[in-house]
Amino acid sequence: KQKTQGYNFWTEADEKGNFCIKNVRPGDYNLYGFVPGIVGSLRHPQLITVKPGNEINLGQVMFKPPRNGPTVWELGIPNRSAKEFFIPDPDPKALNKFWLDKPDQKSDGKVWNPTTWQIIFDLPEVCTTGSYTIHIALAAAELTNTLVYVNNVNARREHYDTGTWGDDNAIARHGDHGFYRFFSGSLPSNLFVKGKNTIYLKQARSQTYMFAGVMYDYIRLEAPPPSSTAQPKEL
């Protein structure tokens, strides 16, 4: 899924999860996998060495999707694409299709001004026994740094920071996916209140580069995990 000088071999599992990758060149490989509609991905813990003429039986390969607690809300479909999110066409009045010299932020500023997304939701109660978790799956990223704030976008420090990521140019080519990335952040329960809450997703680097930004694939907020002393429920 990333730029590489090595070899990539792909296949698709059947309905029972069985798969076979044929005609693999000898060498050392990592094994990755994902399930459409399920967030996250699998990486086999061991390096797989393929030798000429041999077959390797990996046995059962278990993929455990990320999950810390019950879902509060979720946005998007975890399919490694931003198609289900609204991607507007550029404003013709604010778009310079050709530059005679160099891009000028003073005149072209409307094209690359950063935005802060707001996710507004209600909490009937705040669970104080642990931390909430936010999962952010990106369908694409270009030199971006996503900062997460809970209920106070002007806080002295962000409540979660993805770090700076991205070099796939999906935004420049007006695509809907690039390199997939997945982040999980812990959010202390004291940041939340009973009733209306707002999570802010702020792009920190968009003011310096016109194509800096992200395309979201899927976002999920989870409540703290149930207490270990709670009795299991019958299914």
Mean pLDDT of the chain: 85
Greater confidence, 141 or 196? 196
What number is the average pLDDT over the span 152-173?
A: 88
Express each pLDDT in 107-133 by its tens digit: 555 555 667 899 999 999 999 989 999
Domain at 71-97+106-222: CATH code: 2.60.120
| Residue % of the chain over a pLDDT of 70 | 81
pLDDT band at 173 (very low <50, low <70, confident <90, very high): confident
What number is the average pLDDT over the span 54-73?
A: 92
What number is the average pLDDT over the span 48-74?
A: 93
Residue 206, pLDDT > 90, answer: no
Residue 97, pLDDT > 80, answer: no
SS (H, E, C) 75-133: EECCCCCCCCCCCCCCCHHHCCCCCCCCCCHHHHHHHHCCCEEEEEEEECCCCCCCEEE
How many Å separate Cα 54 from the centre of its chain? 37
Sequence spans of domains, the chain: 19-65, 71-97+106-222
Beta strands in the chain (DSSP E): 27-29, 32-33, 42-43, 48-50, 71-76, 116-123, 131-150, 160-167, 181-188, 195-203, 213-222
Instruction: Give the Å distances, CA to CA, from 73 to 48, 67, 84, 149, 187.
Output: 38, 13, 16, 16, 15
Residue 201, pLDDT > 50, answer: yes
Q: 49 with 58: CB under 8 angstroms?
A: no
Name the 3-class secondary structure at 51: coil
Query: pTM of the prediction?
Result: 0.81
